[in-house]
Structure 1
Amino acid sequence: MKDTGSAQDAEHEVTMLKVISDLDADLNNVVKFHERVDMSLYDLLEQREWEHHPLHEIRPVAKQGLGVLHTDIKPDNIMFVNMKDQPLRVKLIDFGLAKMASQVELGMEIQPCGYRAPEICLGLPFSKAVDVWGVGCVLAFLYLAQNLFSFKCEYQMVFII
C-alpha cells in the first residue's frame, strides 16, 4: 500500500520551495533547493554543552523575512551555511508545513508547541507575525540555552505567557 500522506507532504514542500525560489535565497536567508548546510542551531547548542550564546552571536540569526508563513520555526529548522567560512550565517529549511498567507484559516493548529504564538493557542485571527514570534522564541532559546516556554504542554505554555 502506497503512503499517500508522505507523497503529499513531499509534493507540498516542493511546491513551497518553488514559491520561494523566486526570492533571493541569500537575502531572505532561506535554503536553496540543492544547497548544503552544516548544522542546526539545536546541534550547535548541544555541541556547546548548552551554554547560552552571547548577544553578538544571536543578532545575525535574528534576520528574517519571507512572503509566506513558515509555521514551523524552531532551532532544528535553522541551519548554519558554513561555520568555518561564514560563522553564524543561517538559512531557514523545511517548508513542508509552510502556507501562503491566502491559505491560512482561523483555528488552524500550526507551529510547534513552545514556539507557538499566543493567537494560535487561543484560536484568534493571525498573520505572518506568528513566524516572528517563533523567531523570538528561537532567539530566547539561544540566549538561555533552554526553551522559554513548555514544548510538552500548550496549557503550561499559555500559563507562562
Structure 2
Amino acid sequence: PGPRCQVGKFLGRGSYGRVAECTKMGSNETFAIKIVDDLRAGSEEMEAMKIIRSLNPDQNNLIKIHECFQYKDYMCLVYEMLDESLEDFIGKRSFHPAHLCQIRAIAQQMLVALSGLESINVLHGDIKPDNIMFVDQITNPLKLKLIDFGLAVNPQELNVGTQMQINPFRAPEVILGLPLDVSVDMWSLAVVLATLYIGDVPFSYNSDYETIRGLVQLLGLPEDDLLHYGKFSYDFFTYEEESSQPGWRLNTPFEYNLLRSMLAIDPRQRMTPSSALAHDFITMNHLSGERKRSPRTHKPRGSQIASPQVRPTHALSHTYSPSSGYPQPPRSNSLWPTDPPAPHARPITSAYRIPTSPAALRGPGG
C-alpha cells in the first residue's frame, strides 16, 4: 500500500479489513500488515496499541506493533509475523480435547497478558481462539501471544448495557446489562480454556438466551442481586412473586412452553384450548409489551430462589432437552379420581408416537 511495504499473500480477513504478509523495502524481514478500510476503527486500534506500548510485549505475551500509517483511505498497522491461531490449532485437531500440559501453558501465558492489561486498566473485549496466536510452533511450540486490540477500551468508558464480545465468549454481565470491568476478559478466557478441555464450546451460542440457558444448566441461577440490577434480566428471567417459593426462574421459550403444556402426560395437567389461545406464542402480546411481568423496581424478598426451570447438570450439551420443571396450568376435573389407579388398571396408551425433540416438533422447514 505504499513505498514502505511490499505486500505479499493475504493471510485472512476480519470485520474491518485484511491481513497480509509484507516486507519492508530494502529488507527481507517479514511482517504482518493489517489493512483497515475503516479509518475510525483503524485509528482506535492504533491508539490502543500506543497505550499498551508501556508493556513489554514479549514479557506480557502481547503482539508487537512496529509502525502504523495511513495510505489513501486505509489505515495500515504493521505487526510482527506470528504463526497459526488457536482456532486453527483446535480445528486441526478435529476438535479433540487438548492435553492438560498444553492447556496449562496457554492459560498461564494468557493470564500474564490479562494481568498486564489490567495493570494499565485496559479491557481487551474480544478474547477468543482466533485472537490468540502461536509465535512459532517449530522453534517454540507453546509460546503464544494475544492479538487484535481493535476493541480494547478503558472499562470506565463503558456504559451499562454496552454490547460487546461475541457468543459464546460473551460474559453474563454483558448479556444481562450489568456494570462492566476487565473481568469480562477473564470470563472469555475461561470459555476458551473450557473449549480446549472438552473440544467444544461449553455453552450453546445460537442466541444470548441459549447461552444463558446453558449457563444456568451448568452453574445454576445467577445471584438475586445480579438479576435484580441487570438492565436486560427480564429478557431471560422472571421473578415469580405469587409463588410458594418467590424467586427468579429462567424464562421458557414461548413455543416450547406451549408444546410442553399441551403434551403433558397427565391429561389433568394438559393445557386447555382456551388457555392455549391466550398463550403468548399465539397472541404475540410479548412483542407489543403487553405481557405482564414483575416491575423492575421490585426487590426480591429474602434470599430463597425458586428452582430453575432447567435442571442444573454437569453435562456440557448443546442439544435442547426439555425438563419436567416447566410450570403447568392447573386443571381440575372432578371426573378424575384423586387416588392412584389400581395396579391392574390398564395404562393409558396412544397409537401415535409423539416426538420430543425440538427439531422433530418443528417439522420440515420449521
Q: TM-score, normalised by structure 2?
A: 0.42
Encode CA deviations 1:40-67: one digit per residue, 9 max, x unaligned: 1110111122211011100111132213
Structure 2 unaligned blocks of 5 or more = 1-35, 66-78, 216-366
- The answer (yes or no) to whether the contact 1:112–1:151 under 8 Å persists in 2 is no
SS class of match (2:104):
helix
Query: Residues 83 and 134 of structure 2 are in contact (CA less than 8 Å); yes or no, is this contact kept in structure 1?
Result: yes
Structure 1: tracts of 5 or more residues without a match: none
- Aligned counterpart in structure 2 of residue 69 of structure 1, from 123, 145, 152: 123
- 1:60-139 maps to which residues of 2 (within 5 A)? 60-63=105-108, 64=111, 65=114, 66-67=117-118, 68-139=122-193
In 2, Cα distance between equivalents of 1:5 and 1:102: 28
> Which residue is equivalent to 1:10?
42
Contact 2:156 2:181 in 1 (8 A): no
Name the one with the larger strand percent: 2
Aligned to 2:208: 154
- Give the Cα–Cα distance (whole angstroms) in 2 for the partners of residues 151 and 93 of structure 1: 23
Residue type of the alignment partner of 1:50: F
- Match for residue 199 of structure 2? 145
Residues 100 and 141 of structure 1: CA distance in aligned 2, closer, same or farther (over 3 Å): same
Of Structure 1 and Structure 2, which has the larger fraction of its residues in helix? 1
1:53 matched to 2:98? The reply is yes
1:44 aligns with 89
Query: Which 4+ stretches in 1 moved above 6 angstroms?
Result: none
* Per-residue CA distance 1:73-116 (angstroms, 9 max, x = gap): 00000000111111111111111111113212211101111001
Q: Deviations over 1:125-160 (max 9, x none)?
A: 121111000000000111111111123211100111
RMSD across aligned C-alpha pairs, in angstroms? Answer: 1.5
Instruction: Give the TM-score of the pair, scaled to structure 1.
Output: 0.93
> In percent, how many aligned pairs have the same letter?
40
Distance 1:54 1:5 in 2: 39
Q: Which structure has the larger Rg over C-alpha atoms?
A: 2
Partner of 2:58: 26
Corresponding pairs, count: 158
Q: Alpha-carbon deviation of 1:24?
A: 1.1
Q: What's the offset of the Cα at 1:5?
A: 7.6
